[in-house]
Structure 1
Amino acid sequence: MYEKIRGIIVPMLTPFKQDGPVDYDAASTLVNYLIEHGVHGLFPLGTTGEGPLLSLEERKQLAQVVVQAAAGRVPVVIHSGAITTAETIQLTEHAQQIGARAAAIIPPYYFKISERALIDHYLAVARRLPSFPIYLYDNPGVTPNHLTKAMVFEIVEATENIVGLKDSSGSLEKLFAARQLRDNTFNTAIGPDGLIAAGVAMGLDASVSGNANVVPELVVALFNAADQGNLETARSLQDKLNIVREILQDGRDMSMFKGVLAQRGISVGQVRPPLPVANRDLFAQGWQKIEAILGTLEPV
């Protein structure tokens, strides 16, 4: 039986060198920084990781670097979603080959397809790798194709290796309904960082938190408080995280994540064009405010 992933899963930033290539050494450093700050899992090559801006070979190499750097200390779920079914299968097969715990697949982007075509897309990948765990990943903010509750249930019913749902739509209802799947073993992960306290307190298994790239200790503390039923502490920590979210623009501008993280001493370069870079004065200002918030956390 598949063991659920619980806790804070970080959709890792992708480091780039100044002249453009992926900085694989910096990626290993980022893996160690995140694990040392208590995160429970890693999720490279998603939206926060600028995955669609990388070539297939870059995606494969970075996935392998992350799995090797994690070295079994935490589970690694590779985002293997792509615009075609063939590429999605190729990236998912690679995730299995390198020893990732699982893969997560966003619906194909750019072209709007029918619900039947989207279901068939997932079935084709799952049936090609019947022994490899796969997560559905719904994020309607970056693709015109959306996974409804009924579609999730149909896909899971027709496969054996779809083990969980990572949902960035903000639909707690869909995640709560999905918990009952596979005899109540279905793995559920909330996407929006503003819903961590509410979602975890109501029994969701995990949070895939972009802000945890920069403030992993705060997000881990929030998850732990909500998971342990300490709701007063969870509410307080959620309020602090909400301030950080506003400073970092909550992932709307990945350059804020990268620029402020560099102020912490973890250099990951900047975003890959055509993504824009924020005013660099904001990075130091943002870190100064965030550092003060981190200073209020209770020692672990």
Structure 2
Amino acid sequence: MNQLPTGLWPVMLTPFKDDNSIDIDGIKNLTEFYIAAGADGLFANCLSSEMFQLTDEERLLVTKTVVATANTRVPVIATGSFSAEINTSASFIKQLYDLGVAAAVISTSQPCNELETDEEFKMKMENLMDQTGNIPLGLYECPVPYKRLVSSETLKWLAESGRFYYHKDTSCILDCIKEKIKAVEGTNLGIYNAHVPTGVESIRLGARGLSPIAANLYPELFSYLLKNLNDTGKQQEIEHLNNVLDIMDTIIHHNYPFTAKLFLQNRGLGITRNGRIPRLAMSTHDYNKLDAIMREFRQLSEELEIDIIQFKHKEITL
């Protein structure tokens, strides 16, 4: 059995320059930041990366930069499906795999529209598998253009093919996640939960890791949480940290990914706040809440003696 690592898998941002072109140096610095903060794997070219606002060439450039910067220290996966045309997705998946990704991820909302059944979804997935040889694959219940949740029965069928290694679950329902964990038991496929409120419990039920957007802002906290989850001497601290992360998560979704870039900029990372996704105006109250998250992050880090990444002249140090 060959599974992807357990632990923290941040869903990566894409830094842009002032003219909104791809910031290659920013991607390199961001990749180093995630790894230094304790990431066990990286999900490049995902919704947090503004993947639908990128061209195919830019998607490949972003992924290539992350893979080269990670340089096998952690595995990198990336989304490979941007069309309902299976031939088109298969071709792009092959290009991604040639860049060195550990798995090419299929957005579950791409092969079929909202009206197509699970059986039609399975038929198209089978076609896609046939056209992509032995390339390792993943699944992403992306909410754009609509959210198609994969049933535990369909997930079991896909897992038993031996081709799937990563499933980013966005159901946000613990009972559903539990069913999926049971369905893929004994296969290569691991469940990676995007939902912070059910995160810890899902890990204890057998999920292999977390892929929350909050890991873009303060990955050190999630790394500490996962690495110390079973430490009997730290259960009080873990419970407190998990509760605070849950509360913080309710705030950071507003105007994301702008808020994540702003937060990292305020931490000292040399990236702009620019993005290609239109955002709402931020009120003074909104900025104050983000400042409160920063204070809570630093206080938690101090209380739990967590080494947080410091940025100096765009270089990363502990």
> TM-score, structure 1 length as denominator?
0.89
1:161 corresponds in structure 2 to 163
Write the distance in 1 (CA, Å) between the matches of 2:218 and 2:281.
19
1:271 shift after superposition:
4.8
1:286 corresponds in structure 2 to 290
Partner of 1:275, secondary structure, is coil
Write the distance in 1 (CA, Å) between the matches of 2:25 and 2:280.
22
Which of 228, 235, 238 in structure 2 is aligned with 1:234? 238
Per-residue Cα deviation, 1:104-158 (whole angstroms, up to 9, x for no partner): 211234942332332223222222233222112223465253322222223334x
Write the distance in 2 (CA, Å) between the matches of 1:216 and 1:274.
23
2:100 corresponds in structure 1 to 99
Write the distance in 1 (CA, Å) between the matches of 2:294 and 2:227.
20
Conserved 8 A contact 1:13-1:48 = yes
1:201 corresponds in structure 2 to 204
Write the distance in 2 (CA, Å) between the matches of 1:21 and 1:266.
18
C-alpha change, 1:226 and 1:65, in structure 2 (3 Å) is same
C-alpha change, 1:201 and 1:56, in structure 2 (3 Å) is same
C-alpha change, 1:19 and 1:196, in structure 2 (3 Å) is same
Amino acid at match of 2:22: V
2:262 corresponds in structure 1 to 259
Amino acid at match of 2:103: A
Conserved 8 A contact 1:259-1:283 = no
2:177 corresponds in structure 1 to 175
1:42 corresponds in structure 2 to 42
1:272 corresponds in structure 2 to 275
**Is 1:66 equivalent to 2:66 in the alignment?**
yes
**Is 1:299 equivalent to 2:305 in the alignment?**
yes
Write the distance in 1 (CA, Å) between the matches of 2:176 and 2:247.
27
Partner of 1:258, secondary structure, is helix
Write the distance in 2 (CA, Å) between the matches of 1:284 and 1:92.
42
| Aligned pairs (5 A) from 1:118-197 | 118-140=121-143, 142-157=145-160, 159-180=161-182, 181=184, 183-197=186-200
Write the distance in 2 (CA, Å) between the matches of 1:202 and 1:154.
21
Write the distance in 2 (CA, Å) between the matches of 1:87 and 1:73.
31
Conserved 8 A contact 1:131-1:161 = yes
Amino acid at match of 1:172: L
C-alpha change, 1:83 and 1:185, in structure 2 (3 Å) is closer
Write the distance in 1 (CA, Å) between the matches of 2:95 and 2:231.
36
1:284 shift after superposition:
7.0
Write the distance in 2 (CA, Å) between the matches of 1:186 and 1:120.
19
Write the distance in 1 (CA, Å) between the matches of 2:250 and 2:147.
26
Amino acid at match of 1:96: Y
C-alpha change, 1:289 and 1:162, in structure 2 (3 Å) is closer
2:315 corresponds in structure 1 to none
Number of residues of Structure 1 aligned to a counterpart in Structure 2: 298
Partner of 2:29, secondary structure, is helix
- Which contiguous aligned blocks of 4+ residues in structure 1 show a shift greater than 6 angstroms? none
Conserved 8 A contact 2:165-2:190 = yes
> TM-score, structure 2 length as denominator?
0.84
- Flag structure 2 segments of 5+ consecutive residues without an equivalent: 307-318
Write the distance in 2 (CA, Å) between the matches of 1:145 and 1:43.
19
1:108 corresponds in structure 2 to 109
Conserved 8 A contact 1:103-1:135 = yes
1:51 shift after superposition:
0.9
1:88 corresponds in structure 2 to 89
1:31 corresponds in structure 2 to 31
Identity over aligned residues, as a percent? 19
1:243 corresponds in structure 2 to 247
2:8 corresponds in structure 1 to 8
In terms of mean alpha carbon deviation, does 164-173 or 12-21 score higher? 164-173
Write the distance in 1 (CA, Å) between the matches of 2:90 and 2:78.
12
1:67 shift after superposition:
0.2
